Amino acid sequence: MFRKTSWLVAAAAMACSLPAQAAQYMFSFATNTPLFGGSVTGSGVFTTSDTSMMVGGQTAFAITSITGTVNGSAINAPTGNYGNYFTTGSSFLDGIGVNFFTAAGTRVAFFNQSNNGLYRVNTFSPGSSSYVTASASPVTAAVPEPMSWAMFVGGFALLGGILRTRRTHYAMLTA
């Protein structure tokens, strides 16, 4: 009986210890130099795939969703097919960058202008273009992840099974 239980617990612990399927990165930007139109600010979260690829000599992950705000308007969804990449090199966006709409109907393009190494945000309807100061950092979990809790509970179940087996075995020897 103990061997069946230990195999089940071990299998459950292994399943719970698989790597997460996606990463999240907080981003923010604010006007540094307006090219035309007004200033632009924004912040939010990129969610990426777990499969890396090489884009422009940098390790990159496809951006699968974007949430946040631009100039106080909620980001609705990226345009196109989510073919945008979060990179881990000297810049966190490639030259194509990300394109999305806001709840106000504004189309936004946020990208790294590789010829001068600056980030840029273009908005359409209303139109503006600005070089921006931009940053991105990984989102850190404030509470334990579900797979950590599963391993924690699985460990207690395994210890309980061992103690129960020992207690039963000890009772048989002393009887």
Q: What is the mean pLDDT of residues 102-129?
A: 85
Q: Mean pLDDT across the chain, nearest whole number?
A: 76
Domain ranges of the chain: 2-16+145-174, 23-138
Distance in angstroms between the alpha carbons of the first and the last residue of the chain:
21
What is the rounded radius of gyration, in angstroms, for the C-alpha atoms of the chain?
25
And the tokens for 95?
């030259």
Residue 170, burial from CB neighbour count under 10 angstroms (0-12, 13-18, 19+): exposed
What pLDDT does residue 9 have?
A: 47
Residue 175 has pLDDT above 50, yes or no: yes
More confident residue, 18 or 105: 105
Mean pLDDT lowest among 44-53, 74-83, 85-94, 136-145: 74-83
Check whether 100 has a pLDDT greater than 80.
Answer: yes
Position 13 confidence tier, pLDDT thresholds 50, 70, 90: very low
Q: How confident is the model at residue 139 (pLDDT cuts 50, 70, 90)?
A: confident
**Host H or E run for residue 34:** strand 23-36
List the structure tokens of 113: 């202008």
- Token duo for residue 170: 């000890």
